[in-house]
Amino acid sequence: MENNTVWTKNFKLITLSTIIFAIAGEAINLPLSLLVFDETKSTFLSAILIISGMLPDVIIPIFIAPFIDRYSKKKLVIYLFTLMTFTYLLFAFIIRRISFVYNAYLIFSLVVGTISVIFRLAYQAWYPDLIPIGFEHKGYAVASTIYPTVMIVMAPVATYLYEHLHISTIFFIVVALMILCIVSLIFIDNDTTEDTERKVSFDFNEYKSDIKAGFTYLKQKNGIRNIYTYMGITNGTGFGSQMMVQAYFQTAAFLSTTMLGFLRSAETIGRTIGGVVQYRITIPREKKYNITKFVYTVYNFMDMILLFMPYPLMLINRFCVGFLGISSATIRESSVNSYLPANMRAKVNAVFNVILSFAMIIMQIFSGLLGDKFSYRLVCVIMSLIGFLGIFIFIVLPSNENRKVYESTRVEA
């Protein structure tokens, strides 16, 4: 039976679970980041905490992806989500009894990062199967709008929670939200999402072949490789700049963490409005590549000048960045997932996660060290200049190869 809307039962349920998970994530991520910087007064130590959660992304995806491509994505997502929930619950009890211990947070970040990397791979491979054929752009427009919409409310709420509640109490709130998320995932139907290959046994040679497949595919597909490499660079520089912005707001006498929350809300309002626009319009395939180049360029420029602006203009800056950023994200995700064969998604995404994580770790260390020695404003400028170089090398120069990806369409297997 052909679907005439993106809003099938399965898509509604995966959207609901994603919304709840986004609320949980925003409720804990910002308070954790604020707490670590307040306690250590070091951008480098703050960066190390983030890096500890990224380390599993450098190794685990390559070895786990073949299993994900062969087994039930739904079961994997639910099992891993449950394990993550128990981890949060256990840590909530631990930090309830102890004062701030930096190493304890490092261990927690590493454990959750290990579970999360497998969870994300399974989720990324499963999600496209829950979008009806022909509604990919709308589906990813909805997905791209979820986090911005949640952040509009949760950024200032998270700062309020941080200022008024013990961090362990916030952990307990997150656990309750994650349980609700698991319940919604359970009710997603299996019929269209179970893998036909998942009961097929495979030996070690097949396993090695599956691992190589992702690298071989990226070696052959220059456009995908270029896009993924640039995403690693821009995410690394973006997170580095974000850490500097947070430190700037926590140390400048005329700014505050509440103002930081509203700054993030301004960006997410832009993302939400941009997501609605993306949902309602259809961008011609031949224009997607040029729009992407324009957005990437403006995005880096806006990051560069942010901390040199008065606060009201900062809010406008972030709104524009959010509006433009959601456009490029929706275009990229719909194009790349249309381009990738279904049986290659987890393998290729695994390699992508390694590239992304490695670049982000390098940029986090680099920006953290710079942040302890130079002004936060200068570090943001340096990060943006690196981003501009990445645009030129990986997006602009290889235009013919990249255009093939952005102009691709998905067909039913």
**How does pLDDT run across 136-163, given as a tens digit for each residue?**
767 777 777 777 677 777 877 888 888 8
Q: How many CB atoms lie within 10 A of CB 153?
A: 13
Query: What is the Cβ-side half-sphere exposure of residue 283, based on CA atoms within 13 angstroms?
Result: 27
- Does residue 52 or residue 194 have the better pLDDT? 52
List the CATH number of the domain containing 239.
1.20.1250.20
Distance CA 64, CA 211 (A): 9
- pLDDT band of residue 10 (cuts 50, 70, 90) is confident
Contact in structure between 318 and 271 (CB atoms under 8 Å): no
The CB-side HSE value for 409 (13 A sphere, CA atoms) comes to 9
Q: Decide if 257 is inside a domain.
A: yes
Q: Given a cut of 70, is residue 69 above it in pLDDT?
A: no
Mean predicted confidence (pLDDT) in 266-278: 81
| Amino acid, single-letter form, for residue 237 | T
127 DSSP assignment: G
Most confident of 34-38, 243-247, 268-272, 302-306: 302-306
- Tell me if 214 is assigned to some domain: no
DSSP symbols for 312-354: HHHHHHHHHHHHHHHHHHHHHHHHHHHHS-GGGHHHHHHHHHH
Global pTM exceeds 0.85? no
Residue 155's Cβ-count burial label (10 Å; 0-12, 13-18, 19+) is: buried
Residue 281 domain flag: yes
**Top-confidence residue, 176 or 144:** 176
Residue 42 is assigned to a structural domain of this protein? yes
- DSSP alpha helices (H): ranges in 374-398? 376-390
**Per-residue confidence band for 199, with pLDDT thresholds at 50, 70 and 90:** very low
For residues 231, 234, 240, 245, the Cα torsion angle rounded to the nearest 10 degrees is -120
The total number of structural domains that make up the chain:
1
The CA distances from residue 218 to 13, 84, 156, 249, in Å, are 32, 31, 40, 40
Using DSSP, state whether 166 is helix, strand or coil. Answer: coil
Do the beta carbons of residue 262 and residue 155 sit within 8 Å? yes
Cα–Cα nearest to 14, from 74, 85, 65:
74
CA-to-CA distance for 130 and 345, rounded, in angstroms? Answer: 14
Are 240 and 387 within 8 A, CB to CB?
A: no
Q: What is the pLDDT of residues 216-236, one digit of tens each?
A: 777 778 888 888 888 888 888
Which domain covers residue 64, as residue numbers?
9-186+220-406
Q: Let me know: does 334 contact 137? Beta carbons within 8 Å.
A: yes
Helices (H) then strands (E): counts for the chain: 14, 0
338 domain residue, yes or no: yes
Report residue 343's pLDDT band, with 50, 70 and 90 as the boundaries.
low
CA gap 330, 4 in Å, rounded: 21
Residues with Cβ within 8 Å of 294's Cβ and at least 6 positions away in sequence, in order, are: none
